[in-house]
Amino acid sequence: EAQVTQNPRYLITVTGKKLTVTCSQNMNHEYMSWYRQDPGLGLRQIYYSMNVEVTDKGDVPEGYKVSRKEKRNFPLILESPSPNQTSLYFCASRTGASNEQFFGPGTRLTVL
């Protein structure tokens, strides 16, 4: 089944403790992105990647890092999480042909 998977689905952590949220897609898509969704603010893009080893900042990159060492994986790294990073995070992928985006199920992160 074609899908985007994220792990973990739920995470509660404390300020300053480094964490990684994994994202993987099995559709051989070139492009992958990370978004966060907050009440009243909607979905905002954090980082995106056009292909292996090619990444760029979205609208709200501060406090986040990404890497794209393999085509299928695009992990999101929070080196020193803070409470304002409490949010619902989505990973997405798409082909270059149609631009249709496919989203993962989301990761609900709480930083205490």
Measuring CA to CA, how many Å separate 93 from each of 16, 23, 27, 62, 79?
Answer: 29, 10, 9, 21, 23
Q: Taking contact as CB under 8 A, which single stretch among the options 14-22, 48-56, 61-69, 70-78 is the one that binds another protein? A: 48-56
Q: Taking contact as CB under 8 A, which single stretch among the options 11-19, 62-70, 73-81, 103-111 is the one that binds another protein? A: 103-111
Residue 80 contacts by C-beta under 8 Å, 6 or more apart in sequence? 15, 16, 18, 63
For residues 80-99, which are near another protein according to CB under 8 A? 90, 92, 98-99
Q: Which of 7, 13, 22, 45 binds another protein (CB under 8 A)?
A: 45
CA distance 13 to 82: 10
Q: Taking contact as CB under 8 A, which single stretch among the options 13-21, 40-48, 63-71, 74-82 is the one that binds another protein? A: 40-48
Cis omega before residue 8 (within 30°)? yes
Residue 27 engages another protein in binding (rule: CB under 8 A): no
Residue 61 engages another protein in binding (rule: CB under 8 A): no
Question: What are the backbone angles phi and psi of residue 60, rounded to the nearest 5°?
Answer: -135, 65
The residues of the shown chain that bind another protein, judged by CB under 8 A, are 31, 33, 40-45, 48, 50, 56, 58-59, 90, 92, 98-106, 108
